[in-house]
Amino acid sequence: MERKTPTIQDVARFANVSTATVSRALSSPEKVSEGTRARVSEAVRVTGYTLNQAGRSLRQRSAKTILVALPDIRNPFFSSILDAIEREAATRGYGVLVLNLYFGHETIRRLQDFLLSNRADGLLLLDGSVDTYLLQTLSSQAGAIPIVVACEEIPNSGFHTVLTDNVDAAERATQHLIDLGHRRIGHLLGPEHNVVSRERFTGFARALAAAGLSPVPEWNFRGNFDMESGFSAAARFLSMTERPTAIFAANDESAIGFLSGLRQHGIICPRDISVVGFDDLGVAPHYVPPLTTMRQPREALGRMAAEALIDVVEDPEALGMPLRIVLRSELVVRESTARMARVDMEGGNRSS
């Protein structure tokens, strides 16, 4: 049986208001109370009543605010990105709300609340793991709210995207170790289903293949982009009889945790092992030894992502063809990497 198209009467019944109130909430939201707007908004979402038109009417007043959603606000990687977003937004007359996606499924309800209650004009998403269909549904419910994805790409999503060259940068980081004479190279990975983790492993494997090498499964340590997983990888490294002489870490935090775990057992970098990180966090040049790493242009990424989102907020026609900006990371060589001549190829100990 074909489902009946929802009507304004359905919305009124669900919201427990009159059809006149629904019409007023959609056409002149400033004339009804915030509580009534919220009930009508929820009724529109649940009934499916002309989602695009109704959502657009509910949002006809600009909040002059953008919503930034990120996977874990505790991660220091995001600090300079958020700072750049806030600065760019401020110069354009916009405020910034931050939503921590760390709360899992509860986050979806919170996203709906933000996007359907006129509290944000656009969404800047710093997490590529959010379901594409869900995002498109939320955008539709909120009246085609603009969405820009940054840091992590969502393939085939049709959203504007600003990111860095993860595959190429990882390949160049690994090539740096190869150029130093290393052939026994391991990798500290990020989470298994994370797109950035997969891209950096792809770059790592490409560099090895170009040098006639292959990844050794035992030398690929799964982690979570945090110091604890790097520290755990160090314990697994120490238990091996055959060890790599160099490690490419998928981010700086795991690299620092790894080096800390090794140091506690007398394994010194770069005397006994070379390590390259990724991100160039503020602590990287001040760690002992100062960390060789790939510097992501995080400030530029945050600024350009905010700029792209506000451009679309102010001119919906700018949605057009999806924009895809890829920024280049820079290899910063410090003291955590050394030439292979200083390292014993068999055991990872210094040559005499």
User: 159: closest CA among 191, 127, 190?
Assistant: 127
Query: Do residues 18 and 40 make contact, with C-beta atoms less than 8 angstroms apart?
Result: no
Of all residues in the chain, what percent carry a pLDDT higher than 70? Answer: 81
Query: Do residues 73 and 126 make contact, with C-beta atoms less than 8 angstroms apart?
Result: no
Orientation of helix 51-58 relative to helix 19-27, angle to 10°: 70
Query: Do residues 146 and 124 make contact, with C-beta atoms less than 8 angstroms apart?
Result: no
Amino acid at 188: L
pLDDT at position 61, please? 53
Query: Do residues 139 and 147 make contact, with C-beta atoms less than 8 angstroms apart?
Result: yes
Quick check: 142 pLDDT over 70? no
Query: 65-164+301-328 and 166-297+332-342: same fold?
Result: yes
Give tens-digit pLDDT for 285-329.
999 999 999 999 999 999 999 999 999 888 776 666 778 999 999
Query: pTM for the complete prediction?
Result: 0.77
Strands (E), the chain: 65-70, 95-100, 122-125, 147-150, 160-164, 185-188, 220-221, 246-249, 274-279, 292-295, 324-327, 330-332
Alpha carbons 110 and 126: distance in angstroms, whole number: 16
* CATH 3.40.50.11540 given to domain 166-297+332-342: no
Give tens-digit pLDDT for 160-185.
999 999 999 999 999 999 999 999 99
Task: Write down the CATH number for the domain with range 65-164+301-328.
Answer: 3.40.50.2300
- CB proximity list for 27: less than 8 A, separation 6 or greater: 57
Domain ranges within the chain, ordered by starting residue = 8-58, 65-164+301-328, 166-297+332-342
- Under the banding of pLDDT at 50, 70 and 90, the label for residue 154 is confident
Give tens-digit pLDDT for 96-140.
999 887 655 666 667 777 777 777 888 999 987 776 666 766 666
* DSSP secondary structure letters along 134-167: HHHHHHHHTTS--EEEESS--TT---EEEEE-HH
